[in-house]
C-alpha cells in the first residue's frame, strides 16, 4: 500500500509541476513583453493559498485540473466611439461577447493602455501563447533524454536466462511429464551462455537471434560464450507453426494486418531482459514517435471517447493506449510502483513512472495546440490569421487591419469547455468502474 501511495504521489507532483511550468511558459514572455499579469494560478476553483509579488498574485487553487495566467486586454474592443464601446444588441450571444470585451477592458487601468495583450505584435503573441505548450514539450524531451541516456531502454539480449526442460506440443503446457527434452537441453545450453552467432551469422541482440533461428531450418549451430570460453553447440530444433518475424524482431503481417504464420524452430532458451543506455542521438527518434503516437490519439479522440463510453457502460475492455483521466493515471502509477503489474526493482518502476510523466507532458503539448479556444492553439490560430491578413494587406498596399476579434469565437470556446468537462467526467467515471488493465 505504501508503494502504491508513493506512485500516486509521484504522479500527482509530476502533474502539478508540469501545469505550473506550463503557465510559467506563458507568464515569463508576457512579462518580458510588458503585458500586465494580475494573476498566476495553478488549478481552478477556491484559492487555497496565494501571495502577491509586485502586480501579480501567485496562488494554488483547490481543483488541480489545469491553471491559468490572467493577462489584461485579451480581447480587443469591437469598435470605439469616444473611447466607449458601441451599444450591444439584444442577441444573447452578442451580449455575451460584448460582456467579455467589456470585462477585458475593465481590467485596463490608467497607464495600462499599452500593456494589453491584444496590442502586442503578432510574433510576440505567438511566443506568449506557444510558451506554455513548448514548456511541456521541453519537459518531455528533458525527461526522455534522462531516461534514455541514464536508465536506458528495456531490451532482450542473447544471454540465456532460463532453459526450458522440455518441448511440449502445446507451448502453453508447463508440465514436462512424459514430454521430450527441449532442443536447448539436448544441445547443452546453460543459464548464462551468451549466443554470439547462429549458423556462422554473428548476432548482437535477441531480435536477430530469433530471426536467425527462424531461418535455420531443423538444425542450427550456435557459437556461445561460457565463462570466458567460446563453445559450439548444435541443436535439433522442434518446428512449430508460429508468427514469422523480421530481422528487427517485428512480426510479419499480411495486407489485412494479420500475423503471417510459418514453420519456426523452437530452441527452448530464454533471453535476458536488461536496460541499455542509449546515445543522445536516439532521443529525437523516440520523441518523434511519442509525438506522432500522441497526435494520432488526439485526432481520433471522438471515436476513442465512444470506445471509453462503451467500456464504461457496457462489457468491453478499455484500450490500454486510449485516453485516461488523472484518476486513471494515478491508478496506473500506483500499480506500477507497488509491483502489481510489473516486476523489477523499485528504482526501475519509478523510471517507468517518470516515463509516464514525460508522456503526459507530450499529451499536454499536442492537445494545447488544437486550434480551438479556450486552448492555447485557439489564440495561436487567431494570431496567425491576423498576421496573414496584415501581410496580405501590405502586399496589396491596403490599410493594415486591426487585431483579429477573437471574442467572436467565445461561443465556440464555451462549447469546447463544456465538452472538455463532459469528457473529463466520463473518463473519471470509466477509470473508476472499468479502469485500464496493464496486466
Residues recognised as catalytic:
23
- List the one residue out of 426, 437, 419, 438 whose CA is nearest residue 313: 426
The angle subtended at Cα 276 by Cα 172 and Cα 209, nearest 5°, is 50
Q: CA-to-CA distance for 3 and 372, rounded, in angstroms?
A: 40
Q: Are 11 and 329 spatial neighbours (Cβ–Cβ below 8 Å)?
A: yes
Residue 201 corresponds to which cell in the numbers above?
A: 551469422
Which residue is associated with the grid cell 541514464?
150
Residue 360 C-alpha cell reads as 503526459
Sign, CA dihedral 43-49-53-54, equals positive
- What are the start-end ranges of the E strands in 176-218? 194-198, 201-202
Sign (positive or negative) of CA dihedral 301, 303, 306, 311: negative
ω into 39 cis (within 30 of 0): no
Cα four-point dihedral sign 61, 63, 68, 73: negative
CA 404, 407, 412, 416 torsion: positive or negative?
A: positive
User: Exposed, middle or buried by CB within 10 Å (0-12, 13-18, 19+), for 66?
Assistant: middle
Q: What DSSP assignment string belongs to 351-413?
A: HHHHHHHHHHHHHHHHHHTSSSTTSHHHHHHHHHHHHHHHHHHHHHTPPPP----GGGGHHHH
Q: What is the C-alpha separation between 314 and 350, in angstroms, rounded? A: 33
Amino acid at each position: 500500500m505504501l508503494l502504491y501511495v508513493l506512485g500516486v504521489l509521484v504522479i500527482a507532483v509530476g502533474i502539478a509541476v508540469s501545469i505550473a511550468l506550463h503557465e510559467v511558459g506563458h507568464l515569463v514572455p508576457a512579462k518580458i513583453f510588458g503585458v500586465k499579469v494580475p494573476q498566476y494560478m495553478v488549478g481552478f476553483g477556491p484559492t487555497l493559498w496565494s501571495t502577491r509579488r509586485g502586480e501579480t498574485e501567485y496562488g494554488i487553487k483547490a481543483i488541480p485540473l489545469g491553471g491559468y495566467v490572467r493577462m489584461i486586454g485579451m480581447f480587443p474592443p469591437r469598435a470605439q466611439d469616444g473611447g466607449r464601446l458601441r451599444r450591444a444588441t439584444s442577441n444573447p450571444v452578442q451580449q455575451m461577447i460584448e460582456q467579455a470585451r467589456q470585462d477585458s477592458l475593465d481590467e485596463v487601468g490608467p497607464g495600462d493602455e499599452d500593456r494589453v495583450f491584444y496590442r502586442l505584435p503578432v510574433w510576440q503573441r505567438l511566443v506568449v501563447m506557444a510558451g506554455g505548450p513548448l514548456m511541456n514539450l521541453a519537459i518531455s524531451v528533458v525527461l526522455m533524454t534522462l531516461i534514455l541516456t541514464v536508465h536506458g531502454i528495456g531490451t532482450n539480449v542473447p544471454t540465456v536466462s532460463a532453459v526450458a526442460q522440455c518441448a511440449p506440443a502445446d507451448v502453453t503446457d508447463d508440465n514436462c511429464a512424459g514430454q521430450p527434452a527441449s532442443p536447448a537441453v539436448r544441445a547443452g545450453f546453460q543459464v548464462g551462455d551468451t549466443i554470439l552467432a547462429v549458423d556462422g551469422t554473428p548476432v548482437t541482440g535477441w531480435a536477430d537471434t530469433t530471426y536467425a533461428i527462424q531461418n535455420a531450418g531443423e538444425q542450427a549451430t550456435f557459437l556461445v560464450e561460457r565463462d570466458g570460453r567460446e563453445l559450439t553447440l548444435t541443436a535439433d530444433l522442434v518446428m512449430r507453426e508460429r508468427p514469422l518475424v523480421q530481422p528487427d524482431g517485428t512480426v510479419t503481417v499480411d495486407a489485412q494486418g494479420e500475423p503471417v504464420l510459418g514453420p519456426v524452430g523452437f530452441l527452448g532458451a530464454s533471453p535476458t531482459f536488461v536496460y541499455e543506455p542509449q546515445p543522445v542521438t536516439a532521443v529525437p527518434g523516440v520523441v518523434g514517435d511519442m509525438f506522432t503516437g500522441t497526435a494520432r490519439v488526439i485526432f481520433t479522440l471522438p471515436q476513442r471517447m465512444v470506445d471509453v463510453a462503451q467500456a464504461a457502460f457496457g462489457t468491453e475492455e478499455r484500450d490500454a493506449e486510449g485516453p485516461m483521466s488523472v484518476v486513471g493515471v494515478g491508478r496506473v502509477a500506483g500499480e506500477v510502483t507497488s509491483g502489481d503489474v510489473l516486476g523489477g526493482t523499485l528504482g526501475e518502476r519509478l523510471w517507468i513512472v517518470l516515463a509516464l510523466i514525460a508522456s503526459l507532458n507530450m499529451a499536454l503539448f499536442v492537445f494545447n495546440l488544437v486550434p480551438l479556444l479556450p486552448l492555447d492553439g485557439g489564440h495561436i490560430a487567431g494570431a496567425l490569421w491576423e498576421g496573414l491578413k496584415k501581410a496580405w494587406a501590405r502586399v496589396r498596399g491596403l490599410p493594415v487591419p486591426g487585431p483579429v476579434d477573437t471574442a467572436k469565437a467565445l461561443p465556440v470556446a464555451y462549447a469546447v469547455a463544456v465538452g472538455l468537462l463532459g469528457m473529463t467526467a466520463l473518463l473519471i467515471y470509466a477509470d473508476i468502474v472499468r479502469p485500464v488493465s496493464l496486466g
